[in-house]
């Protein structure tokens, strides 16, 4: 606690997980710690609900009516194709974009929409929403991330 950088890390409320290692070598005791951020463990349904709730909050803030929420099996398959290819612009997502307004992104916090969502969320001509997510680890996201796809129409 006497070292300012170590004290700052120890007291940083942004970290929500820590790992510690201790070893004795001869007459010395060595201690290391590693601070990090864990990914919340939500079910697919909880993740999709959190995203839909964030869209609803944003629409209310813009004084727009709530979108009617729907499920879409093709969207779910397309979203799960993204981590398989480790990219957002997959052929299945492109195909959906021929019929709908599509938003795809990755996120660790399902309750926070990306800035790129604003244009679609605040579009007063849209009436429907479908949300799908797929949590997966890839070479780009070795700890895992939520892959998200939304259809607006």
Q: Give pLDDT, residue 40.
A: 64
Q: Give pLDDT, residue 39.
A: 64
44-152 CATH, one of 3.40.190.10, 1.10.10.10, 3.40.33.10, 3.40.50.2300: 3.40.33.10
Assign 3-class secondary structure to 128-143: EEEEEEEEECCCCCCC
CA-closest candidate to residue 122, choices 88, 93, 79, 152? 152
Q: Give pLDDT, residue 36.
A: 76
How many angstroms separate the CA atoms of 5 and 9, rounded?
Answer: 6
Q: List the pLDDT tens digit at each of the 153 positions of the chain.
A: 788 887 887 788 777 778 888 999 999 998 888 877 776 678 999 999 999 999 999 999 999 999 999 999 999 999 999 999 999 999 999 999 999 999 999 998 888 999 999 999 999 999 999 999 999 999 999 989 999 999 999
**Domain range annotation of the chain:** 4-36, 44-152
Q: Give pLDDT, residue 83.
A: 98
């Amino acid at each position: 606690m006497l070292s300012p950088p170590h004290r700052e890390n120890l007291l940083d409320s942004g970290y929500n997980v820590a790992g510690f290692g201790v070893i004795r070598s001869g007459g010395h005791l060595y201690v290391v710690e590693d601070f990090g951020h864990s990914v919340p463990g939500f079910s697919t349904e909880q993740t999709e609900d959190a995203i839909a709730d964030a869209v609803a909050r944003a629409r209310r803030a813009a004084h727009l009516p709530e979108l009617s929420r729907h499920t879409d099996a093709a969207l779910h398959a397309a979203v799960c194709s993204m981590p398989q290819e480790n990219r957002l612009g997959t052929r299945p997502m492109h195909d959906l974009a021929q019929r709908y307004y599509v938003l795809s992104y990755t996120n660790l916090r399902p309750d926070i929409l990306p800035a790129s969502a604003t244009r679609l969320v605040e579009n007063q001509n849209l009436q429907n929403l479908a949300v799908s997510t797929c949590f997966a680890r890839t070479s780009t996201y070795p700890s895992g991330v939520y892959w998200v796809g939304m259809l607006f129409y």
